[in-house]
Amino acid sequence: MIFDTHAHYDDERFNEDRRELLGQLPCLCAGRKSSLPDCTRELNGNILSKAGGCPARGQDDKTCNIGKCGANTDNTTDGKEDFSFGCVGKVINVASTVDSIEDCVSLAKEFPHVYAALGVHPSELEGMNEGVIDRIRSLCRLEKTVAIGEIGLDYYWEKEAEAQENQKHWFIRQLELAKEAELPVVIHSRDAAADTLSIVKEHAEGLSGVIHCYSYSPELAREYVKMGYYIGIGGVVTFKNAKKLVQTVEETPMERLLLETDSPYLCPEPHRGSRNDSRELLYVVKKIAEIKGISEREVEDITWENACRLFYKV
């Protein structure tokens, strides 16, 4: 079963079909835009498993084998094929703007398989103030708020020293909030490798988290792994020009990799350029399995357990 640890279903590109897609997501299994027969979008616990995984099926139908944290431990259940392989069982919807914080909480409340990470992206700091920090702090008490994020540094557009200092300030404040709330962090870092590492070393002691959409060197990934962080891998690993990321996946222990879409962005090959969603992680799983020389099921199971370990409230 697949755990998408980073999505943005609150994005306007999902406005037309957001609830239909999220409602059906645990039923949508291997194969692009395919679904199990007779699945419904009931969210009452009788159709979806308590783990938020694949739907329960009729007595005469094939069933899912849900193990620890909803992970699958075998291909079969009582001799029947396990349909949970290739299914998207859980999603963390990650806030990026001040306004998206409430949207993420609402989606997590509505869908049993969706959880929330709350924070403000470094390129979206308009309106950021201590009142926002206070609001996130209060929402961290909710059962389905599982992380602080997406937070960090992004110097791709922000070249002025003043803007970069502002990013650093709110990155540090949100790290402090994560410590207070005892939650892991989802870190965004773009064209800011040195400053991100420096701040994490100085201000994130005792925290764990994921370096989202990892884009730096294998050597830097090793530094983060030593500090207890995970490396987020999405559609970019399937791109033809992703040699550095492929090397990072090759050299990073499976026990430190997480699956993520960053949907609606960064759709993997062979659908690069399309709107991304959690079902496309099948192609990421396949690529990681190819790089690591293991089965796709192993990739799904190990990354699922990794996500449950990091996001302990799930």
pLDDT in tens, 60-103: 222 233 333 444 434 443 444 455 678 999 999 999 999 999 99
Residue length of the chain: 314
> From CA 309, how far away is CA 314, in angstroms rounded?
9
Q: What 3 state SS string does the chain have?
A: CEEEEEECCCCHHHCCCHHHHHHHHHHCCCCCCCCCCCCCCCCCCCCECCCCCCECCCCCCCCCCCCHHHCCCCCEECCEECCCCCCEEEEEEECCCCCHHHHHHHHHHHCCCEEEEECCCCCCCCCCCHHHHHHHHHHCCCCCEEEEEEEEEECCCCCCHHHHHHHHHHHHHHHHHHHHHCCCEEEEEECCHHHHHHHHHHHCCCCCEEECCCCCCHHHHHHHHHCCCEEEECHHHHCCCCHHHHHHHHHCCHHHEEECCCECCCCCCCCCCCCCCHHHHHHHHHHHHHHHCCCHHHHHHHHHHHHHHHCCCC
Q: What is the pLDDT of residue 34?
A: 35
CB-based contacts of 201, cutoff 8 Å, min separation 6: 227
As for how many domains the chain has, the answer is 1
Assign 38 a pLDDT band (cuts: 50, 70, 90). very low
Please write the tens of the pLDDT for every residue from 204-220.
999 999 999 999 999 99
pLDDT, averaged across the chain? 86
Please write the tens of the pLDDT for every residue from 141-196.
999 999 999 999 999 999 999 999 999 999 999 999 999 999 999 999 999 999 99
Residue 265 CA, chain-centre distance (Å), reads 13
Q: What is the pLDDT of residue 25?
A: 87
The whole domain housing 145 covers 2-310
- How many percent of the chain have pLDDT more than 90? 80
Q: What is the pLDDT of residue 29?
A: 53
- Specify the pTM: 0.86
Residue 41: pLDDT over 60: no
- How many percent of the chain have pLDDT more than 70? 82
Q: What is the pLDDT of residue 86?
A: 82
For residue 47, what is the domain's CATH number? 3.20.20.140
- Contact of 233 with 288, CB cutoff 8 Å: yes
Please write the tens of the pLDDT for every residue from 244-278.
999 999 999 999 999 999 999 999 999 999 999 99
Q: Which of 51-55, 94-98, 222-226, 228-232 has the lowest mean pLDDT?
A: 51-55
Q: What is the pLDDT of residue 85?
A: 74
Token pair in block for residue 257? 């990799």
Assign 26 a pLDDT band (cuts: 50, 70, 90). confident
- Contact of 107 with 90, CB cutoff 8 Å: no
